[in-house]
Each structure stands twice: as structure tokens, then as C-alpha cells.
């Protein structure tokens, strides 16, 4: 009987000691005695809204130093627009410290997402999308391939003064590019990079021999290209009150190689699978 009474007494004593600790850790008591008064935010970011950051952290900070749920606070911050990842810590006696790493956008992906420089897709809803970003379209399981083709195409077309604005991989696995100015380059499903390299090598000659604007190039031919040209719009200075003449319809021309094309030169790129 005495042993039972001693056991009960020990249990009550432990409960009296543990209960205040549990109460403090759960925020039942102590939030006013040990409040979190200061928010310290570090990290280089431009687009994360500081007001939204404070608002999402306030409910967690109100529970006090010992009861703040750091994991839940971190997850709440990570859901904010433009946040790639976040870390939340507490510093004695009253500091809630937040480290924010912001998404750096690399491209638009489809109509409602962005692709970061780290290769992560994130929602574009509710954020201002930079207008200069290229547009990528394709299955998200092939992000790396789309980026690789964009990087290679950009390097090839840039010396010619042409900018790649769009890379698309359709459900059938066929590649196409969109250039600034509206030209479409159809690469097809196989040997897309070889076709693109062959076309870029001949493009200066093609453009030099034309006064019209290239609108479409279909490269899905063994020994040539199918090209569509249209007359360039007249400069605005030459416009007058006379009714404009109807634009000539686009004209398609087939260009064929007299000899089999040479192999695509080594570009120095590695680990790029062909589409």
C-alpha cells in the first residue's frame, strides 16, 4: 500500500513539473512572458511582398518564443508567390528569423506557370510576369530537354541577330521554334538539333538573297527545307492617305541541297538527348 502511495506521489510530482513545461511549449501560457517581438528577414529578393510575409508569420509569432511552430511557419512562407524555399528560426530572446530564397524566372511554361533558373515550375497566378521571358510549351517531365534545346538554339541564332522566343514540344514529340518577329521553325521529331544546325549555317545566304520576310521554315526534309516568305510591311514614314494595296499572299519555296548535308558539327554540349 505504501509503495502504491509513493508511486502515485511520484506521478503527481512529475505531472506538476511537466505540466507547466507542456503548457509553455504549446502556447497555453507564457506567450505574453516570452513574446516574439522582432522579425528579421534575410536573403536577396525583389519580388516577394514584405507585407504578405509579415502577415503570414504573425499567427505563428503570437504563440510566443517556446510555442512557435517553426516547420508550419516555414511551409506557410514557402507558399507565398516567388518564394523558392524558406528557413525559419528563432533567436533568444524575442527574434523570429526568416531566410528567403526567391525564384529567379528563366522562362514562361505554358499559360499559367514559370520555370525558375533552378529548373522548378511554379505558379504564375497573381504575379507580374516579366515580358522578356521566352515561352516553353511541353510536358513537364521533359523540362531538361526543352531547356537544353532552347540554350542551343539561342546560341546558334544569336550571332545572326535573331532571338528565340518560343520552344515547343508537342504531344507527338515534334519540336518547333518561334523567333522574334513571328517566324516559325519546324524541326520535327528526329534529328532536331542536326536540322537546326544545318539550317542556321545556310540562313545568312537565304536572308541575303531575299527582300522578303521569312515566316515559316519546315526542316523535316532529308535534303532540304520548305520556306515561306512574305513581303515586308512598308515603313510608317512612307504611309499616306491612299488606300493600302492588298498584301501579297505568302509564297512557299522549297530549297534542296545539291549534295548530302555534312554531319552536324560538334557544339561542345554534353548530355543532351535528341527529341
Whether residue 22 lies inside any domain: the answer is no
- pLDDT, residue 274, reads 35
Residues 170 and 214 occupy one common structural domain: yes
Tell me how far apart the alpha carbons of residues 31 and 249 are, in angstroms, rounded to a whole number: 75
* CA-to-CA dists, residue 225 to 198, 199, 212, angstroms: 10, 8, 17
Whether residue 42 lies inside any domain: the answer is yes
**Residue 158 binned pLDDT confidence (cut-offs 50, 70, 90):** very high
Of 53, 85, 102, the one marking the end of a domain is: 102
Residue 230 dihedral angles phi and psi, to the nearest 5°: -145, 155
Residues 162 and 74 occupy one common structural domain: no
**Residue 268 binned pLDDT confidence (cut-offs 50, 70, 90):** very low
Q: Quick one: average pLDDT of 206-223?
A: 90
Q: Could you count the other beta carbons within 10 Å of the beta carbon of residue 89?
A: 14
Q: Quick one: average pLDDT of 253-271?
A: 35
Tell me how far apart the alpha carbons of residues 53 and 228 are, in angstroms, rounded to a whole number: 52
| pLDDT higher than 70, residue 247 | no
Whether residue 139 lies inside any domain: the answer is yes
Whether residue 196 lies inside any domain: the answer is yes
Q: Quick one: average pLDDT of 106-130?
A: 90
Q: What is the tens place of the pLDDT at every residue in 36-84? A: 889 999 888 788 889 999 999 999 988 888 889 999 999 999 999 899 9
Residues 228 and 138 occupy one common structural domain: yes
The CATH number that applies at residue 81 is 3.10.20.310
Tell me how far apart the alpha carbons of residues 61 and 66 are, in angstroms, rounded to a whole number: 10
Residues 185 and 98 occupy one common structural domain: no
Whether residue 93 lies inside any domain: the answer is yes
Whether residue 190 lies inside any domain: the answer is yes
Which of 223, 220, 216 shows the shortest CA–CA distance to 253? 216
The CATH number that applies at residue 160 is 3.40.50.11690
Which domain, by its residues, includes 219?
A: 134-233+247-256
- pLDDT, residue 156, reads 97
Residue 15 dihedral angles phi and psi, to the nearest 5°: -65, -40
Q: Quick one: average pLDDT of 232-253?
A: 54
| pLDDT higher than 60, residue 129 | yes
**Residue 31 binned pLDDT confidence (cut-offs 50, 70, 90):** very low
Residue 64, burial from CB neighbour count under 10 angstroms (0-12, 13-18, 19+): buried
Q: Quick one: average pLDDT of 211-239?
A: 83
Question: What domain count does the chain have?
Answer: 2
Tell me how far apart the alpha carbons of residues 63 and 60 are, in angstroms, rounded to a whole number: 6
| pLDDT higher than 70, residue 239 | no
Residues 252 and 143 occupy one common structural domain: yes
| pLDDT higher than 50, residue 269 | no
| pLDDT higher than 70, residue 150 | yes
| pLDDT higher than 80, residue 10 | no
Q: Quick one: average pLDDT of 103-130?
A: 90
Amino acid at each position: 500500500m505504501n509503495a502504491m502511495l509513493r508511486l502515485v506521489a511520484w506521478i503527481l510530482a512529475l505531472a506538476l513539473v511537466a505540466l507547466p513545461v507542456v503548457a509553455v511549449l504549446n502556447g497555453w501560457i507564457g506567450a505574453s512572458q516570452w513574446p516574439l517581438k522582432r522579425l528579421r528577414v534575410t536573403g536577396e529578393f525583389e519580388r516577394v511582398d514584405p507585407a504578405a510575409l509579415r502577415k503570414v508569420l504573425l499567427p505563428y509569432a503570437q504563440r510566443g518564443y517556446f510555442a512557435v511552430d517553426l516547420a508550419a511557419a516555414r511551409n506557410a512562407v514557402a507558399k507565398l508567390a516567388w518564394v523558392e524555399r524558406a528557413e525559419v528560426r528563432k533567436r533568444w530572446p524575442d527574434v523570429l528569423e526568416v531566410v528567403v530564397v526567391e525564384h529567379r524566372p528563366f522562362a514562361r511554361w505554358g499559360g499559367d506557370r514559370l520555370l525558375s533558373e533552378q529548373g522548378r515550375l511554379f505558379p504564375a497566378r497573381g504575379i507580374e510576369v516579366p515580358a522578356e521571358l521566352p515561352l516553353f510549351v511541353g510536358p513537364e517531365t521533359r523540362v531538361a530537354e526543352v531547356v537544353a534545346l532552347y540554350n542551343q538554339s539561342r546560341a546558334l541564332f544569336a550571332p545572326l541577330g535573331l532571338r528565340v522566343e518560343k520552344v515547343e514540344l508537342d504531344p507527338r514529340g515534334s519540336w518547333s521554334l518561334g523567333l522574334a518577329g513571328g517566324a516559325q521553325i519546324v524541326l520535327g521529331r528526329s534529328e532536331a538539333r542536326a536540322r537546326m544546325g544545318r539550317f542556321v549555317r545556310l540562313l545568312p545566304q537565304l536572308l541575303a538573297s531575299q527582300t522578303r520576310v521569312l515566316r515559316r521554315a519546315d526542316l523535316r526534309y532529308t535534303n532540304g527545307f520548305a520556306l515561306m516568305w512574305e513581303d515586308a510591311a512598308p515603313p510608317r514614314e512612307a504611309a499616306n492617305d491612299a488606300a493600302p494595296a492588298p498584301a501579297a499572299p505568302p509564297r512557299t519555296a522549297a530549297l534542296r541541297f545539291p549534295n548530302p548535308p555534312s554531319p552536324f558539327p560538334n557544339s561542345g554540349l554534353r548530355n543532351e538527348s535528341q527529341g
